[in-house]
């Protein structure tokens, strides 16, 4: 499984173009809540010492919902057109 690490602020069409070229069903990105609390905003974290503000958002309707108070990571969900979903960071989304 690949991780889509956003290293610079790109627009949504560039993001989706990259995703589509990989032909996968979904994967994690470097998007995370700034802190592990549901009130914390999402940012891109290309490394432990760097954060980037989101310049666009493309959430699935109803997300981010921080379900059960444990969804701190951002993935692109294939069955939802690679829109964004917040999910548990330990969730295994790759199913061979």
Could you give the CA distance from residue 85 to residue 25 in angstroms, rounded to a whole number?
A: 13
Stretch that binds Ca ion, among 2-10, 19-27, 59-67, 75-83 (CB under 5 A): 59-67
- Short-list 27, 33, 63, 62, CA closest to 45: 33
Site track for Ca ion across 19-58, x = CB under 5 A: ----------------------------------------
Could you give the CA distance from residue 53 to residue 9 in angstroms, rounded to a whole number?
A: 8
Among residue numbers 75 through 94, which ones bind Ca ion (CB under 5 A)?
A: 86
- The yes or no reply on residue 65 touching Ca ion (CB under 5 A) is yes
Stretch that binds Ca ion, among 5-13, 28-36, 45-53, 67-75 (CB under 5 A): 67-75
Residue-level length of the chain: 96
Could you give the CA distance from residue 84 to residue 96 in angstroms, rounded to a whole number?
A: 21
Binding site for Ca ion (CB under 5 A): 63, 65, 67, 71, 86
């Amino acid at each position: 499984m690949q991780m889509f690490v956003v290293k610079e602020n790109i627009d949504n069409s560039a993001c989706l173009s990259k995703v589509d070229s990989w032909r996968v069903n979904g994967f994690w990105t470097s998007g995370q809540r700034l802190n592990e609390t549901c009130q914390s905003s999402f940012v891109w974290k290309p490394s432990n010492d760097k954060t980037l503000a989101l310049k666009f958002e493309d959430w699935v309707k109803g997300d981010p919902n921080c379900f059960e108070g444990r969804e701190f990571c951002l993935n692109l969900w294939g069955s939802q057109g690679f829109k964004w979903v917040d999910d548990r960071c330990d969730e295994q989304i790759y199913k061979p």
